[in-house]
Amino acid sequence: MPAPEINTVVPLYYLSKELGGPIVTVDEHATADGFEPVTSDTIVRQMDDGLGDLGGIDIWLMSTVEEAEAARAAFGGDAQSAKLRNGNGAVLKTRNASFEIRLEDRRRQERTAGMAEDRVFGSWTLDRGQMLTMQDLDEIAMEQATRGWAREVATMARHMGPAAVQQLQVDLETVPGAFVGFASCDIGTLREACDIAFENDAEAHSILSRCSQKYENATMMDDIEGYVLERLEPVICDKNEPEGPAGP
């Protein structure tokens, strides 16, 4: 089966002289203020209207909105940043040069490693129908994006340590619609909080992992704790017996 095609569209919007331009933006939300997309079937007319007077237009596609905002702040001046529909960020800046639009994919390699690569298009290379169709996120594209974010978190762990990632997992559980799991609950936490020891840490960790996958009645935290401890009981050391060696 061929790999699915994942498309990322970087839109460019233009405000005509008649409405106060010429101004360009990569912010989709600006379309409510009279901006129209720059597409292959409108760019000639828009260039005659003043788009061609703006000089060189450089657009960078970034992994995240935060990276795009950081780049915008570094550029200063009239640089701008925005969020794309797939969660990527984009930065736009103009320069004194002959008119051209340059698009660079500056996303980190970790984002797409091991996944189907996406194809990047500027809206000015597509007609309006193609742009609107390719901008729509399907399930495959959403999975592509979320896996990319997960890889970035994994990369962050190398620099900030596992505690930062665990805290992020805890915070994500408070987002409306998020799954509530055992992201912040590990063997060490249970050992300290419940004053227990395990005959085999590896087996206890495996049981804890299975619990987090199967428990569905997420009501009260003490209920969850009881559910977990009940299933860990076979590997909890008897207080009256010497503690055995920890597993690998």
Other beta carbons within 10 Å of 44: 11
pTM for this one?
A: 0.59
**In sequence order, which residues have a C-beta less than 8 Å from that of residue 165 and are 6 or more positions away?**
153, 154, 156, 157
Question: 80-83 and 56-62 as β-strands: parallel, antiparallel, unpaired?
Answer: unpaired
Per-residue confidence of the chain (248 residues) as pLDDT tens digits? Answer: 455 567 889 999 999 999 999 999 999 887 667 899 999 999 999 999 999 999 999 999 998 899 999 999 999 989 999 999 888 899 999 999 999 999 999 987 545 544 556 789 999 999 999 998 887 766 666 666 677 677 777 776 677 777 777 777 777 777 766 665 544 466 777 777 777 888 888 888 777 776 655 445 444 445 556 766 777 788 788 755 555 555 44
CA 39 – CA 25 distance, rounded (Å)? 13
